[in-house]
C-alpha cells in the first residue's frame, strides 16, 4: 500500500485554484521531494494530506485512510512550515508533552536525536533561535519512528552540519521502509536526499522525475571565448542551446545537445580560442521546465 495516494486532488480558495488535479503516489521506502517556487501550492497540498483542509474536489489517502481520520496520526510525523511551539516550555518539556500525546515513547529516542542534531533541550523554546527551534520540530517529527514523514520546508535555518545529519536521518528512515514527503524550494537539497522529485508550479504538478534520471539529463554550462563576429542567431538554431548570452569575444550558454554540432556552428562564424564547461545547476534545469510550461 502506498502511504500517499492523491487522485485529482484540488483546492480552491474562493475562486482561486491553489491546487489543480493532483495525481500522486509516494511508495514505501521512498523519499519524495516536492519542489516549487513560493506560492506554488506546496503547503496547500501538505495541509490537504494532513486533513487540515478539505479538498474542493478529488481525494487523498494517507497511510491507507482518509487524511481527516485521527487514528493514523500516530504513524505520521509532521513538520509544518510555520512551526508554533509553546515559548515558555523547554525543548525537553515540549518533546515529553508531545510524546505523551502520542502514547509515550522511549526516552532514548529523543536524546539520541537531540545529540545528532546538536539540539539544546534545556532552554525555553521561546529563547531559541529559529534554526534551533526547528531542531525541536524535527525531533518531534522523527521521535516516534513514524511510517510516513511529511516535512514542509524542513531545512529552514539549519546550519550545514545539522542539515547533513538531518538528510542522513531521512535516508535512514527510507532505508527502513518508511517514507518521506519533503517540500522544498531548493533543488540542491532535494537532489541530495530524494529518490523522485515532483515539480509544482501554479498549483499544477508539471513533472515527476527520478533524481537519477534528472542527473543523466543534466545540462552543461559552457563558456566560449571566440574571435570573430558571432551572433545569437548562429547558435540559437543548434538543438539543445538554452540561456544563450552573446558578448563581444565571449559566449555563455547551457547546453544539452550534440557538442560537435555546437562547435561546428561556432567554427562556421568564428575562431574558438578557449572553452570552459561545467555542470549546469539543476536549478537551471528546473527553471527550464518552468519556462517551457509557461
Ligand atoms: N487561506 C488562503 N486563502 C487564500 N489564498 C491562499 C490561502 N492559502 C494559500 N493561498 C494561496 O494559494 C497559493 C498556494 O499557496 P501555498 O501556501 O500552498 O504555496 P507554497 O508552495 O507552500 O508557497 P511557499 O513556498 O511560499 O510556502 C498562493 O498563491 C497563496 O497565496
Gap from CA of 40 to ligand 1 centroid (Å): 7
State pTM to two decimals. 0.81
For residue 201, give the 3-state DSSP assignment: strand
211, 272, 177: which is closest to 34 by C-alpha?
211
Rounded to an integer, what is the distance from CA 280 to the centroid of its chain? Answer: 19
Superfamily of structural domain 4-215: P-loop containing nucleotide triphosphate hydrolases (3.40.50.300)
Closest ligand 1 atom to the C-alpha of 41?
Answer: 18
CATH classification (class only), 218-291? alpha beta
- pLDDT at position 257 is 86
Give the DSSP H/E element, type plus range, for residue 204: strand 204-210
Tell me if 46 sits within 8 A of 150, measured CB to CB: yes
Residue pLDDT, tens place only, 24-69: 999 999 999 998 888 899 999 999 999 999 999 999 999 999 998 8
157, 154, 180: which is closest to 166 by C-alpha?
154
82 lines ligand 1 (CB under 6 A): no
Residue carrying C-alpha cell 492523491: 6
Residue pLDDT, tens place only, 121-173: 999 999 999 999 999 999 999 999 999 999 999 988 899 999 999 999 999 99
Give the DSSP H/E element, type plus range, for residue 21: strand 16-26
Closest ligand 1 atom to the C-alpha of 44?
Answer: 18
DSSP 128: S
The full set of domain ranges for the chain reads: 4-215, 218-291
155 lines ligand 1 (CB under 6 A): no
> What ipTM score was computed for the predicted complex, to two decimals?
0.95
Q: Please state, in angstroms and rounded to a whole number, the distance separating the CA atoms of residues 279 and 283.
A: 11
Residue carrying C-alpha cell 518533546: 95
The shares of helix, strand and coil residues in the chain, as percent rounded to the nearest 5, are 35, 30, 30
Rg (CA), the chain: 23
Q: Whose CA is nearest to atom 7 of ligand 1?
A: 13
Amino acid at each position: 500500500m502506498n502511504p500517499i495516494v492523491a487522485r485529482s486532488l484540488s483546492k480552491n480558495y474562493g475562486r482561486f485554484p491553489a491546487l489543480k488535479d493532483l495525481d500522486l503516489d509516494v511508495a514505501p521506502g521512498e523519499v519524495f521531494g516536492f519542489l516549487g517556487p513560493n506560492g506554488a501550492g506546496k503547503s496547500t497540498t501538505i495541509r490537504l494530506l494532513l486533513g487540515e483542509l478539505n479538498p474542493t474536489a478529488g481525494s487523498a489517502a494517507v497511510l491507507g485512510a482518509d487524511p481527516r481520520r485521527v487514528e493514523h496520526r500516530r504513524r505520521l510525523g509532521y513538520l509544518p512550515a510555520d512551526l508554533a511551539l509553546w515559548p515558555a516550555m523547554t525543548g525537553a518539556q515540549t518533546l515529553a508533552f508531545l510524546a505523551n500525546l502520542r502514547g509515550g515513547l522511549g526516552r532514548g529516542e529523543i536524546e539520541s536525536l537531540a545529540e545528532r542534531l546538536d539540539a539544546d533541550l534545556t532552554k525555553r523554546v521561546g529563547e531559541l533561535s529559529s534554526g534551533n527551534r526547528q531542531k525541536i520540530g524535527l525531533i518531534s517529527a522523527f521521535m516516534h519512528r513514524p511510517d510516513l514523514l511529511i516535512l514542509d520546508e524542513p531545512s529552514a535555518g539549519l546550519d550545514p552540519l545539522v542539515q547533513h545529519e538531518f538528510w542522513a536521518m531521512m535516508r535512514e528512515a527510507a532505508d527502513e521502509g518508511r517514507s518521506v514527503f519533503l517540500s522544498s524550494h531548493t533543488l540542491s537539497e532535494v537532489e541530495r536526499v530524494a529518490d523522485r522529485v515532483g515539480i509544482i508550479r501554479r498549483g499544477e504538478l508539471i513533472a515527476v522525475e527520478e533524481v537519477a534520471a534528472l542527473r543523466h539529463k543534466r545540462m552543461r554550462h559552457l563558456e566560449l571565448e571566440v574571435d570573430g563576429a558571432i551572433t545569437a542567431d548562429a547558435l540559437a538554431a543548434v538543438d539543445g542551446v538554452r540561456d544563450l548570452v552573446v558578448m563581444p569575444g565571449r559566449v555563455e550558454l547551457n547546453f544539452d545537445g550534440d557538442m560537435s554540432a555546437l562547435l561546428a556552428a561556432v567554427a562556421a562564424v568564428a575562431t574558438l580560442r578557449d572553452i570552459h564547461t561545467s555542470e549546469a545547476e539543476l536549478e537551471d534545469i528546473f527553471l527550464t521546465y518552468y519556462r517551457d510550461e509557461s
